[in-house]
Structure formats: structure tokens, C-alpha cells
Amino acid sequence: MTGILAGRVAIVTGAGRGLGREHALELARHGAKVVVNDLGTSGAGEGASSAPAEEVAAAIRAAGGQAVTNGADVADFAATEKMVAQAIEEFGGLDILVNNAGFVRDRMLVNTSEEEWDAVIRVHLKGHFAPLRHAAAYWRAEAKAGRQRAARVINTSSGAGLQGSVGQGTYTAAKAGIAGLTLVAAEELAPYGVTVNAIAPSARTRMTGGPFAAKMAVPTEGFDAMDPANVSPVVAWLASIEAGDVTGRVVEIEGGRICVEEGWRHGPADDLGARWAAAEVGPALRALLARAASPEPVYGARTPAPSAVNGARG
């Protein structure tokens, strides 16, 4: 296989199904050698099976590519260190890390258990940190040894993490954390030749049922905007050497639409030059809110009236 990723080595986490599966296949189509990581859990993060990862690796090999499987729990610090080592031992290095693994347990905040909170935060947020930490250590060592690689990290946030989603408070917090981690990692790893970006995909997977089921339905004709394969070409390009000048960005992808997200930015400000008195804060803050851009409604929200959004009184 030849293409924009020819000769490059990639790890894709959660690559047994859904988006991760399509990412692994797409990277391989463009010439990457792929470590197909998947624990083989259910959509709720339960159980384990090597079958999904093995099926994807077999499909890559059948098409003429190179792939091996890995069954590490992405939130297991020691296991992900071995996963990075596996890529290096099997294929001679590591150039691309696609952090994709995750699951969801939708619940309103007042019904969320501590176990549910911990499980979702663990697999998404720690499950991004652990592989990234070990890959980054390898890339830093390579750079210091004079063998700097054009390394690429593609993390997976979501619209929930950027705008919020009713009934997904835990998932939203984890995905927002991933977006923030992406910004910091992009800056810290730049000296070693590493770019770090994130995607916010909208696609039909095991995680997108419930209130989104109607939107995710397979169309009877025409373009299937929710096909997870629509997302993967963006991942492939971000993983390429050509994308070396793009870092610290979050790209939303839905069907044929790509959108560069603009996150928290400094907006209107008022500097008193002294400590504010509590009675002065209200008028000052309301004046600033009236000048500020209104936030986008949370997914699933009852859209508030403009006066409620910007804090102004009618």
C-alpha cells in the first residue's frame, strides 16, 4: 500500500469497531503500519474480547497492509507503555497515535453514580493521557538522540465536550478535558516535532443511540452523513507529514462538513485597577455580558431567550 502515510507507524486505540475501525483501515489504505488496539468491551465498557481487533487487523493484511493487534486497557499506565513498545519492536518506530477508545454511560447528573463517573472519566481522559505520555517520552528521546520524527497525535473530543450535552455530564467533562489536554500537549511537544490535534466527530456508532437515534438512522438513499468512514480521511491527513504546520486545533466533522472549532477566548473585559466591591460586580458583569458573544446552546437544551443567554434584562 502506498499513499500519504507510506512507511509510517500508527497506533489506533479502540480500533475494533466504529470510528476506530474506520481510522485503522483508512490509515492502512494510505500506507501506514497499524497497531490495532481494542479491549473488546461492550458499549458500556464491560467484558473483553480479542475478536474485534483481530478482524480489523486481518482486513488490513488481506488488503496488502501490515497490522498487529493489541488488547491493552488504554487507561492502564503500564499496559500502554507496553503497547508503545510493541509498535516500536514490531515496526521499528512510532509516528502516529490516534486516541479513540471510549464508551458512554448516559445519565442525568442527579442520577449519576460515583462508579459511572469514575469509569467514564478513566477510559476517556486517562485513556488519552496514558498512551500519549508513553508515546511522548519515546518521541522526546528520539529527538534528543538526533532522530526527531514527524510525529502526529489525533485525540478524540466531541460536540458534547465543546458545547455540552444534556444527560451526558460525565462524558461532556471527559471530552472537554481531552480538548484542554490537546492544547497543552501541542505546546509541550512542539520542540520534539510532534503535532497534537483533536477531532470532534459526529457519526453512527455504538455510543450514539438514545436521544440521537433518529439522526443516526441509516438513510434509504443518498449520502449517509453519519457513516463513521466519513471522519477517517480527516484523521489520515492530520496524521500525515504534510500536516506539520497544524497543531493545537479541534476539528469538528459531520458528514461532508469540517469545521475548525474556536474554544475559550478572552472576551470583553473591565479592569477596575482595584478590588471590586460585591455591589459593583453585578452592573459591571452585566455590561460585559451584553457585549459578549452568546454561548451556543447545550445539545438537548431548551434554547433560552436571548436575554437569558447574555445576562441582559428585558
Output DSSP code: residue 298. Answer: P
List the grid coordinates of 53: 481487533
215 is catalytic: no
By the 8 A CB rule, do 27 and 112 touch? no
By the 8 A CB rule, do 150 and 207 touch? no
158 is catalytic: yes
By the 8 A CB rule, do 91 and 56 touch? no
* Candidates 33, 126, 171, 192; catalytic one: 171
* Candidates 126, 157, 165, 175; catalytic one: 175
Residue ranges with strand state E in the chain: 9-12, 33-37, 67-70, 96-98, 151-156, 194-202, 250-254, 257-260
Q: Which residues contact 176 (CB under 8 A, 6 or more apart)?
A: 157, 161, 162
Q: Which residues contact 107 (CB under 8 A, 6 or more apart)?
A: 113, 116, 167, 169, 170
175 is catalytic: yes
Rounded distance, CA 73 to CA 13, Å? Answer: 9
- Nearest alpha-carbon partner for 171 in 215, 208, 134: 208
By the 8 A CB rule, do 22 and 230 touch? no
* Dihedral angle sign, alpha carbons of residues 146, 185, 32, 251: negative
Exposed (0-12), middle (13-18) or buried (19+): which is 118, by Cβ within 10 Å? exposed
List the grid coordinates of 17: 469497531
List the grid coordinates of 150: 514527524
- Nearest alpha-carbon partner for 230 in 197, 200, 203: 203
* Candidates 33, 157, 158, 299; catalytic one: 158
Q: Looking at the annotation, which residues are catalytic? A: 158, 171, 175
